[in-house]
Chain A
Amino acid sequence: MKLLVAVKRVVDYNVKVRVKSDKTGVETAGVKQSMNPFDEIAVEEAIRLKEKGIATEIVAVSVGVTQAQETIRTALAMGADRGILVETDVAVEPLAVAKLLKAIAEKEGAELIILGKQAIDDDFNATGQALAALLGWPQGTFASKVEIADGKATVTREVDGGLETVELKLPAVITADLRLNEPRYASLPNIMKARKKQIDIVKPADLGVDVTPRLTIVSVAEPPGRKAGIKVPDVATLVDKLRNEAKVI
């Protein structure tokens, strides 16, 4: 079974982003970029499925600028077999990413696609759902456990009240939540090996997809700041402040 995994290059999760002074976006120049943490979990899950003999080949796909090859390279160093970069300078929105992934999935004959549930830059939480819709496949979003057997994926999902388990007939789309697994670090030999793995570069037009954004960014602003308050010396003072000053208890 061929497996596709989607990876996005984003501002590293440890970076506290700054809004640009012209309010057109956040400052990304000179800021550390890494693979979206949820996508790392997706890659790890794909590799585990290959190690179990369920997946035969893992193709890591990214959509973005030339440097997104580094993100694919990270996936290859973790254990993916080859990569495809859909190269574009456009900030591609989830719907268009889903269209690009659909085109690749069909071309590759993928039977399972795993993505992170959400990118930590735009926080859309939409690409996996959109991809499943466009392919007409079932979706197992926010997965914390995945088992594949007999042409079916049994997916345990993190939902508001706890956990829910669904059964999806393959082919299917799965989006990874935080507790699905703990991604491995690539070893040095595997990083070296990954340099020789193939990355194909295509353009959105090659896949027949129009990636023109549907949303225009009118402005990007800092959220209203929150000032640090006061330190209280003891529990009695705290309770007194909550009762008589803040009046919240």
Chain B
Amino acid sequence: MTSLVVLDFDATGIKQPARSAIAAAAKLGEVHVLIAGNAVGDAPAAAAKIAGVSKVLVADDASLTHELAETTAALLVSLAPAYSHILQAATAAGKNTIPRAAALLDVQVISDISDVIDADTFVRPIYAGNALATVKSSDSKKLITVRASSFDPAAAEGGSAAIETVAVPAAGTSSKYLSSELSKSERPELTAAKIIVSGGRGMQNGENFTKLIDPIADKLGAAVGASRAAVDAGYVPNDYQVGQTGKIVAPQLYIAIGISGAIQHLAGMKDSKVIVAINKDEDAPIFQVADYGLVADLFTALPELEKAL
């Protein structure tokens, strides 16, 4: 039984969520990985070093630029016969591609698994993580997205996998990439950060994120996140959003500032090791999950916190 893990990568290397997907796949048996893209550079070599990987498949073709679901799913279908399980981290790309590939194979995808019980049985959160469903699949092949925060990533070094080039099927597609507007940041990515400082509606505007949260994040080497309310209000871009339908994170330390703690936000961060809440409303639901709560006006508490760090 061999699994194929589709890796998320960019010019900076293999993404941490991809190594978590490898860790999940390792519970099932032998692990091959797929690097699919255009001019993939050093990514195959980096993938070959990841602990637990026995083979790296490389699909390097202009049609795979920008990881369009249509072309990547067609590639996965062509590779599927050799594999019992095909997995990818539940990143934007994984959530876009894997369900499409699954349907092409007449398989019911198993989304966002948080544990592997056996080859057919998996745990996945439902209802914004308020319940954990253990499901057993009767499909002969399993297509899976993996909740990266639930699996410790496989070590980036230690492996020495073989690298093999695979053919890319000629798939005509009526979908075309036009452009991206990506947030630029020197800070760690939310899904890989050990510390996250998140702001909510209580921040009142985007300038206060820059003025009050950024300096704390910089001192802690933390990523900056946000609640849906702060994103909807336009304080920060969409990729900051932590929650049921945003990013799911589980850092060592999550500092929630001016966030009331709606179910949907808690769904994205309640597996953090230590949670700190700073809110002036002592009845805010966020305090019910916080290890350390500080009832205070954030406009006085944040400058103090920055000084104390």
- Contact in complex: A95, B95 (CB < 8 Å): no
Question: Of A133, A142, A159, A230, which contacts B73 at CB under 8 A?
Answer: A133
The number of residues on chain B lying at the interface, defined by a beta carbon within 8 Å of a beta carbon of chain A, is: 90
Asked if A215 lies at the interface with its beta carbon under 8 angstroms from chain B, I say yes
- Contact in complex: B264, A238 (CB < 8 Å): no
When chains A and B are docked, how far (Å) is the Cα of A213 from the Cα of B110? 12
The number of residues on chain A lying at the interface, defined by a beta carbon within 8 Å of a beta carbon of chain B, is: 79
When chains A and B are docked, how far (Å) is the Cα of A134 from the Cα of B102? 10
- Contact in complex: B276, A242 (CB < 8 Å): yes
Asked if A188 lies at the interface with its beta carbon under 8 angstroms from chain B, I say no
- Contact in complex: A95, B108 (CB < 8 Å): yes
- Contact in complex: A220, B239 (CB < 8 Å): no
When chains A and B are docked, how far (Å) is the Cα of A231 from the Cα of B129? 25
Q: Which residues of B contact A221 (CB under 8 A)?
A: 131-132, 134
Nearest B residue to A123 via CB reads B126
Asked if B195 lies at the interface with its beta carbon under 8 angstroms from chain A, I say yes
Q: Which residues of B contact A161 (CB under 8 A)?
A: 180, 182-183, 239
A21 CB, nearest partner CB in chain B, Å: 13
Interface string of B278-309 (1 = CB under 8 A from A): 00001000011111111110000100110011
Asked if B4 lies at the interface with its beta carbon under 8 angstroms from chain A, I say no
Asked if A107 lies at the interface with its beta carbon under 8 angstroms from chain B, I say no
Q: Which residues of A contact B96 (CB under 8 A)?
A: 129, 139, 141-142
B218 CB, nearest partner CB in chain A, Å: 13
- Contact in complex: B176, A166 (CB < 8 Å): yes
Asked if A90 lies at the interface with its beta carbon under 8 angstroms from chain B, I say no
Question: Of A165, A235, A241, which contacts B178 at CB under 8 A?
Answer: A165
- Contact in complex: B69, A139 (CB < 8 Å): yes
Q: Which residues of B contact A203 (CB under 8 A)?
A: none
Asked if B133 lies at the interface with its beta carbon under 8 angstroms from chain A, I say yes
- Contact in complex: B289, A223 (CB < 8 Å): no
Asked if B64 lies at the interface with its beta carbon under 8 angstroms from chain A, I say no
Asked if A146 lies at the interface with its beta carbon under 8 angstroms from chain B, I say no
Asked if A57 lies at the interface with its beta carbon under 8 angstroms from chain B, I say no
- Contact in complex: B112, A139 (CB < 8 Å): no
A118 CB, nearest partner CB in chain B, Å: 6
When chains A and B are docked, how far (Å) is the Cα of A166 from the Cα of B69? 11
- Contact in complex: B191, A138 (CB < 8 Å): no
Whether A142 contacts B92 in the complex (CB less than 8 A), given A17-B130, A226-B289, comes out as yes
Q: Which residues of A contact B110 (CB under 8 A)?
A: 215
Question: Of B104, B175, B263, which contacts A138 at CB under 8 A?
Answer: B175
Q: Which residues of B contact A134 (CB under 8 A)?
A: 103-104
- Contact in complex: A141, B95 (CB < 8 Å): yes
Q: Which residues of B contact A236 (CB under 8 A)?
A: 304, 308
Asked if B160 lies at the interface with its beta carbon under 8 angstroms from chain A, I say no
Interface string of B97-122 (1 = CB under 8 A from A): 10111111011111110000000010
Asked if B54 lies at the interface with its beta carbon under 8 angstroms from chain A, I say no
- Contact in complex: A179, B232 (CB < 8 Å): yes
Question: Of A16, A163, A219, which contacts B263 at CB under 8 A?
Answer: A16
Q: Which residues of B contact A11 (CB under 8 A)?
A: 127
Q: Which residues of A contact B69 (CB under 8 A)?
A: 129, 132, 139, 141
A157 CB, nearest partner CB in chain B, Å: 8
Asked if B137 lies at the interface with its beta carbon under 8 angstroms from chain A, I say yes
When chains A and B are docked, how far (Å) is the Cα of A231 from the Cα of B288? 11
Asked if B273 lies at the interface with its beta carbon under 8 angstroms from chain A, I say yes
Question: Of A138, A220, A226, which contacts B133 at CB under 8 A?
Answer: A220
Q: Which residues in A have some Cβ–Cβ distance to B below 8 Å?
A: 11, 13, 16-17, 19, 26, 38, 93-96, 98, 117-118, 120-126, 129-134, 137-142, 144, 154, 157-169, 172, 177-179, 213-223, 226, 228-232, 234-236, 238-239, 241-242, 246, 248-249
Q: Which residues in B have some Cβ–Cβ distance to A below 8 Å?
A: 66, 68-70, 73, 91-93, 95-97, 99-104, 106-112, 121, 124-139, 173-183, 189, 191, 195, 220, 228, 231-232, 237-239, 244-245, 247, 252-253, 263-264, 270, 273-276, 282, 287-296, 301, 304-305, 308-309
What are 15 pairs between A and B in contact, CB < 8 Å?
A: A121-B127, A124-B99, A134-B103, A141-B96, A144-B238, A161-B183, A164-B179, A166-B175, A213-B108, A215-B135, A218-B134, A228-B293, A239-B305, A239-B309, A242-B292
List 7 A-B pairs, minimum CB-CB distance, nearest first. A130-B103, A138-B175, A169-B174, A229-B291, A126-B99, A129-B99, A133-B103
